Structure 1
Amino acid sequence: MSHGDYDVLVIGAGLAGLRCAALLASSGRSVAVWESGDAVGGRVRTDVVDGFRCDRGFQVLNPAYPELRRAIDVPALRLHPFLAGVAIRDTDRARHWVHPLRAPRRLPGMLTGGGLRPRDVVALMRWAAPALRPATLTEGRDDVSVADALDRSGVDGLARRVVDKFLAGVVLDDQGSTSNAFTLLLARMFALGVPGLPAEGMQALPRLMSAPIADRITLNHRVDRIVRDGRGWAVSAGGDTVRASHVVVATDPQTAETLTGAPAPPMKGVVTDWWATEDTIPGSRLLWVDGRPTPPGPLVNTAIVSAVAPGYAPAGHHLIAASALIGGDGEAPPESVTRTHAADILRVTGAQGWSLVTRHVVPEALPVQPPPLRVRRPVRTPDGLWLCGDHRDTASIQGALVSGRRVADAIDRCDRRSDTAHA
């Protein structure tokens, strides 16, 4: 069965595929999007369970991402921001570190009661200084692992433990093997914008992106064959076959490798547990990390999500999220262990009364981003298929959106060259 021909068929309705398809559709091309899942968004999904909104894997959205502002009307998401900073479970107390540029009056208190020494501030500034020159970071020269960069800058003690734990929750790497240049690019975004949660969950982002092209998207369509068909391609999903001049594979890296042969990068995994309680939990809108020398559990972070975005929980309830990394053996820590650690970080008792809303085990959450940083990987295979996704740029929402635009721009250039050649 044939549905007709298209200028472009995009396989995958994640952020990269939606961005690519929307740009090509806006330029007047006939575009279709086939998505294997039952909703748009790829890895950016939100489950609604008994009135609780639980994003698949703990995710936040930084409104400072330049490509995000180009792609959507950010205010339409009604973001609820975290406080700019981090809450720390230390050995004998809880400490709050705030963003020094956003709350400069709090800096003296951080130096006297936050566990930060003046030498820590100097070392952190030494490490973060290259973020002021982002162009030099994207060149990838002299890039090292973030662990090596922190060592060279003299970041140690509590400051090092907090940075390590915070970054582990962002890049899903607790070994410090991630590119320091990439990490500093993320740090720059944290300096420019305060991450938050959309009022209706993270899936509100792909829903908003898909709205202008909703009539071009077909769900529950898993592609099983792509073959050359003259100057174009024939693509099959079950009993459906269409022909397209261009095919964009905007799937997860493993599926992309199956369809195109392009090698998939190693991936990093995370498990996120979501608990509900009616008990009031003292805390704040800060993200919490464990800054103790020997943490008693595996969590990289925890948060009282309903304190940040009240709409994530029904009235009269609170929602807590906590994330841990999935190890090299592919095993996630037991929920009972993460629950105990989360309660200990938040310094609350009675966690036995917390009700597990859902558990998200995401073994392939982010591509690795080792040094030296490569922000632009090829977006076309040798036989002419197109590729986009965060594995072609940086392992971030920004990277996924940029890769979608890069492919749309490249198809524009390709078609212009073809039109010129046949003029």
Structure 2
Amino acid sequence: MLLSARHTDVVVVGAGLAGLRTAHHLVAAGVSVIVVEASQEVGGRMATDTVDGYRLDRGGQLLDASFAGAEQPSGLEKLRLLPLAAGPVVRSSDSAGDGGGRAGRRIGDAIDRARLNAVLGRITAVPEHRLLARPETTAARAPLARGLSPRTADGYLRPLLTALLHDPDLTTSSRCADLALRRYARGRLCMPSGGAATVPELLASGLPAGTIRLGVRATAVATDSVTTAEHGRISCRAVVVATDARAAARLLPGLRVPEFLPVTVVHHAAGSPPPYGPALVLEAARRGPVGRTLAAGEVDPSRVPPGGGTLVTTTLLGPRGDTGDAELDRTVRDRLAALYGVSTRDWQLLSVHHDPFALPSMSAPHDMHRPVRLLAGLYVCGDHRDTSSAQGALDSGRRAAEQVLRDLGVTPPLPALPRPVPTAA
């Protein structure tokens, strides 16, 4: 289908969370926008596949109850956030795991958990600007565990940070770690009802018809135009590149490309729910690839077909290597048997999705507000300009739009919409 318009105020390249958020902010200010997206779907890494009736996220995204903030774009008021159980379950896999259901032990007693809550409470009370002013080191070296016993600091807090940051070595900036813990402490972890793809789909639905053009690949950008492989040149007053970091660097030579954290997501169908219900389960000691596991079907039943038992979603951290799916499945099910204390022999592998470029690394030192304005008329946004998270992508998109509007001399009239309320699963 040919583009019906060859000129617009702003062209946004990429229909992921950052690009969609940029478009919303600009449209709300009365600016005309075209979003071009090379693929046939919106969302980028926020994608969900359907396999045998199961809704399977390709990434390991978890949101929190404050996702998107108070000023939400149109469409996200329909987002249902389903909370996980309060507090993760951390286990030590004392057995090697043989698929027979030999359970490890649970870490932390009531006193340890109270001490941890006190530490998180102190982080919550510190204003964000003060957290960002703290001396920066790595998350592994930061004095996060002040007031905790060594057992709980190493066996509970470190696995929690590893799971929140997707960083098995905790080389992430201590400031980013502080912010992640602060967000965690201020609101429950949640899953979007229906799958991660629901978020970009709702964002896309809130834009005017015809704004998003799928299957249109940008091949070159300038301050006044975007050239596409399919439809030639679109002229404009400004261009925002809102792709992932590698694609952005291909359009913007010289743009810094960060290192990446690889993530593998494994989905199993289980006949009956494993222990701990809708709680995040972490392993205290890294004896295998499992970073975290969750009975996702217990949090969000809409991801499971009728009569399908439940869905267990496991996130593996670090490089995958050359392990085949069958061998990886055996290894993961053995670890899950040890963590849950149940037999996993009859669990059915639904999918394995490995992304070697899942998240931009936030190794120290890390600038959480990298410039989004390259020069007047040319801008860039994405989680590689902010924090490596869905929220970071949204925040960078908002920053880029605000900079575009300042350069265009437009004052945006932004209404505040109510944020989504977590709904009991």
How many angstroms apart in 2 are the aligned matches of 1:369 and 1:128? Answer: 24
- The answer (yes or no) to whether the contact 2:121–2:185 under 8 Å persists in 1 is no
- CA apart distance, 1:137: 4.3
- CA apart distance, 1:385: 1.7
**Residue matched to 1:13:** 15
**Residue matched to 1:187:** 181
Say whether residues 1:198 and 2:192 are aligned partners.
yes
Say whether residues 1:95 and 2:86 are aligned partners.
no
Between 405-414 and 130-139, the greater mean CA deviation after superposition: 130-139
How many angstroms apart in 1 are the aligned matches of 2:64 and 2:231? Answer: 41
Pick the structure with more helix per residue. Answer: 1
**Residue matched to 1:59:** 61
**Residue matched to 2:417:** none
Cα distance change, pair 240–198 in 1 and its aligned pair in 2 (3 A): same
One-letter code aligned to 1:410 = Q
- CA apart distance, 1:194: 0.9
How many angstroms apart in 1 are the aligned matches of 2:356 and 2:339? Answer: 25
- CA apart distance, 1:311: 1.1
Say whether residues 1:35 and 2:31 are aligned partners.
no
After superposition, give the CA deviation of every residue in 1:168-187 in whole Å (9 maximum; x if it has no partner). Answer: 22212111211111111111
Give SS of 1:215's match: coil
- The answer (yes or no) to whether the contact 2:273–2:298 under 8 Å persists in 1 is no
Cα distance change, pair 135–280 in 1 and its aligned pair in 2 (3 A): closer
**Residue matched to 1:380:** 373
Counterpart mapping for 1:7-406 below 5 A: 7-65=9-67, 67=69, 70-71=72-73, 76-90=78-92, 91=94, 93-95=104-106, 110-111=110-111, 116=112, 121=115, 125=118, 129-137=122-130, 139-150=132-143, 153=146, 156-213=150-207, 214-227=209-222, 232-261=224-253, 262-291=255-284, 293=285, 295-316=286-307, 317-327=309-319, 334-349=328-343, 351-382=344-375, 384-406=377-399
How many angstroms apart in 2 are the aligned matches of 1:380 and 1:395? Answer: 19
Cα distance change, pair 221–204 in 1 and its aligned pair in 2 (3 A): same
Give SS of 2:142's match: helix
- CA apart distance, 1:154: 6.7
List gaps (5 residues or longer) in structure 2. Answer: 95-102, 411-425
Cα distance change, pair 242–301 in 1 and its aligned pair in 2 (3 A): same
- The answer (yes or no) to whether the contact 2:13–2:218 under 8 Å persists in 1 is yes
- CA apart distance, 1:56: 1.1
Cα distance change, pair 29–331 in 1 and its aligned pair in 2 (3 A): farther
Cα distance change, pair 39–138 in 1 and its aligned pair in 2 (3 A): farther
- The answer (yes or no) to whether the contact 1:131–1:184 under 8 Å persists in 2 is no
- CA apart distance, 1:212: 2.2
- CA apart distance, 1:19: 0.5
Cα distance change, pair 80–141 in 1 and its aligned pair in 2 (3 A): closer
How many angstroms apart in 1 are the aligned matches of 2:188 and 2:147? Answer: 27
Give SS of 2:356's match: strand
One-letter code aligned to 2:368 = V
How many angstroms apart in 1 are the aligned matches of 2:287 and 2:128? Answer: 40
How many angstroms apart in 1 are the aligned matches of 2:311 and 2:31? Answer: 44
**Residue matched to 2:423:** none
- The answer (yes or no) to whether the contact 1:60–1:196 under 8 Å persists in 2 is yes
- CA apart distance, 1:151: 7.1
One-letter code aligned to 1:324 = L
One-letter code aligned to 1:59 = Q
How many angstroms apart in 2 are the aligned matches of 1:184 and 1:342? Answer: 29
- CA apart distance, 1:375: 2.1
Between 301-310 and 85-94, the greater mean CA deviation after superposition: 85-94
List gaps (5 residues or longer) in structure 1. Answer: 98-108, 418-423
Q: How many residues align?
A: 393
- The answer (yes or no) to whether the contact 2:222–2:378 under 8 Å persists in 1 is no
- The answer (yes or no) to whether the contact 2:120–2:181 under 8 Å persists in 1 is no
One-letter code aligned to 2:195 = G
Give SS of 2:358's match: strand
**Residue matched to 1:101:** none
Cα distance change, pair 27–136 in 1 and its aligned pair in 2 (3 A): closer
How many angstroms apart in 2 are the aligned matches of 1:384 and 1:4? Answer: 17
After superposition, give the CA deviation of every residue in 1:168-215 in whole Å (9 maximum; x if it has no partner). Answer: 222121112111111111111112211212221111111111112242
- CA apart distance, 1:386: 0.5
- CA apart distance, 1:379: 0.6
How many angstroms apart in 2 are the aligned matches of 1:205 and 1:66? Answer: 10
After superposition, give the CA deviation of every residue in 1:31-59 in whole Å (9 maximum; x if it has no partner). Answer: 10001111111111111111111111222
**Residue matched to 1:103:** none
- The answer (yes or no) to whether the contact 2:81–2:191 under 8 Å persists in 1 is yes
TM-score by length of 2: 0.85
Identity among equivalent positions (%) equals 31
- CA apart distance, 1:128: 6.7
Give SS of 1:363's match: strand
Structure of higher RCO (CA pairs closer than 8 Å, 6+ residues apart):
2
Give SS of 1:273's match: strand
- CA apart distance, 1:373: 4.2
One-letter code aligned to 1:30 = S
- CA apart distance, 1:263: 1.2
